[in-house]
Amino acid sequence: MKFLLNAYAASAVTVARSEAERDAVVDHADFVAAARESGELIGGGVLADSSTGVLVRAREGRTTVADGPHLDSPVRLAACYLVDCEDRDRAVGLAATVLAAHYDAVEVRPVMLAAGMEM
């Protein structure tokens, strides 16, 4: 089964963090190496700060682009990884090895295909 691991982190702007906590938001090298070695990592990476992104909307034949950030929340998506695991328990185990899980949270979500949930 494929799962998307979304690593969240409180914004460094709104929350005072130690150097170790700031590093944990972007340093997922151990997780990446282990998941790659096990053959479970499909891809992914750390995201730039949300203030560097844009939000695209297409309505009634018109496209608008707005500068970020877009959520009114101190928590931001910091990284995402696509993994292929035998089950949810294994995906949860992998998520627990992402350093961000020790300071904020990592969301584990199954990836659905057009035909529904992949099993």
- Provide the pLDDT for residue 24: 57
- Provide the pLDDT for residue 49: 77
Query: What CATH homologous superfamily does 2-112 map to?
Result: Dimeric alpha+beta barrel (3.30.70.1060)
CA 52 to centroid of chain Cα atoms:
16
The packing angle between helices 29-37 and 88-95, to 10°, is 150
58 exposed, middle or buried (CB, 10 Å; 0-12, 13-18, 19+)? Answer: exposed
Q: Which residue has the higher pLDDT, 13 or 99?
A: 99
Asked whether the predicted pLDDT for residue 77 surpasses 60, the reply is yes
- Provide the pLDDT for residue 14: 42
Confidence of residue 2 (pLDDT cuts 50, 70, 90): very high
Of residues 103, 85, 78, the one with CA closest to residue 93: 85
Q: Which residue has the higher pLDDT, 109 or 101?
A: 109
Where along the chain do its domains lie?
Answer: 2-112
Q: Enter the DSSP assignment of 100.
A: G
pTM value is: 0.79
